[in-house]
Amino acid sequence: MENKDRGSFSGRSAGKKFDRKPSDRKPSDRRSSSGKPDDRKAFGARPARGGADRRPARDLKDENRRVRKFAEPAIPEEVTGKELEKREAFALQSLALENAEMVAKHLVALNMFLESDPERAYWHGQSAVFRAGRVAIVREKAGIAALHFKKFDVAIKELRAAQRIAGSPSVIPYLAQCELALGDPRKTLEIAGSVDPKLLTVEQKVELRIAAAGARTALKQFDAAVVTLTCPELTLGDANWSLRLRTAYRDALLQAGRNSEADSFMAKYPQSFSAPEL
């Protein structure tokens, strides 16, 4: 029977041999021979009825070797994975049960360390991608962690992958920050102007403001940067992005030569600008 997939190789003559070069993609990016994502069989497919795993021993050995080669960061004992937001947990339902539980734990740990230990958060993100690289929220979270750890090339790759998979505007603020970090403030402003703020969460709006203000500063538009950061969210002090927003606003005032306003702002929110205890 003729192989239906041969149409994709129509440029090759029938029966002609050709050399296949090894793929440079990560195991998480490859597809199985059936065309289905590897996630369903990786790290233990759902066992057949009765609890027995009927896969060949060779397949199990290969998967175990694949796991051992990747040094995953330790997950805090208190993390169960159930702390994950419902929307994010729902997105993991396409994965095998055991794999979904591990990915959920890595995402919870990523959120836990994002501000306090960006490097650790980054490696939790990479572990989640290794296990579930075709899930949009996994790529998005890994991209955000890479951005915080200043791995901008990795961040933009992960965020673009998330956008291709889901088409969601949620990654746009972080893509804008990546472009700024990579030295293209005009591209940052172009991205910032391409999304309707109504489609973003409060956190995403703040991230977009920080990116756009940074671009204005890079273009020497200091007063415009202050205007961009002037928002009601400056009064919120308990969000994980509050310190970065207030610091960006203070810095924008100073760069605009509005020192007295900067002093007044810092006096209003001393907890955000007091030196940490050693």
Per-residue pLDDT of 25-81, as tens digits, reads 444 444 444 444 444 433 334 444 444 444 455 544 444 444 445 578 999 999 999
Please classify residue 158 by burial: count the beta carbons closer than 10 Å to its beta carbon, then call 0-12 exposed, 13-18 middle and 19+ buried: buried
3-state helix, strand, coil in the chain (%, to 5): 60, 0, 40
End-to-end CA distance of the chain: 73
- CA–CA distances in Å: residue 116 to residues 226, 235, 255, 269: 27, 22, 27, 21
Cα–Cα distance measured from residue 91 to residue 98, given in angstroms and rounded to the nearest whole number: 15
- Do the domains 169-278 and 59-167 match in fold? yes
CATH entry, 169-278, from 1.25.40, 1.10.10, 2.60.40, 3.30.2350: 1.25.40
> Would you say residue 255 has pLDDT above 60?
yes
3-state secondary structure of 50: coil
pLDDT of residue 214: 97
Please classify residue 22 by burial: count the beta carbons closer than 10 Å to its beta carbon, then call 0-12 exposed, 13-18 middle and 19+ buried: exposed
Cα–Cα distance measured from residue 128 to residue 45, given in angstroms and rounded to the nearest whole number: 17
Residue with tokens 């059936």: 34
- Could you tell me the residue ranges of all domains in the chain? 59-167, 169-278
Reported as a single tens digit per residue, the pLDDT across 227-250 is 999 999 999 988 888 999 999 999
Contact (Cβ atoms closer than 8 angstroms) between residue 54 and residue 45: no
Reported as a single tens digit per residue, the pLDDT across 184-243 is 999 999 999 999 989 999 999 999 999 999 999 999 999 999 999 999 999 998 888 899
Percent of the chain scoring above 90 in pLDDT: 67
Cα–Cα distance measured from residue 45 to residue 53, given in angstroms and rounded to the nearest whole number: 8
- Give the total residue count for the chain: 278
Higher pLDDT, 145 or 87: 145
For 19-23, 106-110, 155-159, which range has the lowest pLDDT when averaged over its residues?
19-23
Q: Which residues neighbour 202 within 8 Å (Cβ) at sequence distance 6 or greater?
A: 233, 239
Cα–Cα distance measured from residue 259 to residue 237, given in angstroms and rounded to the nearest whole number: 22
CATH number attached to the domain at 59-167: 1.25.40
Rounded (5°) CA angle 13-14-20: 75
pLDDT of residue 168: 86
Contact (Cβ atoms closer than 8 angstroms) between residue 162 and residue 139: yes
> The dihedral of CA 253, 258, 259, 265: what is its sign?
negative
3-state secondary structure of 74: coil
Contact (Cβ atoms closer than 8 angstroms) between residue 174 and residue 200: no
State which amino acid sits at residue 87.
R
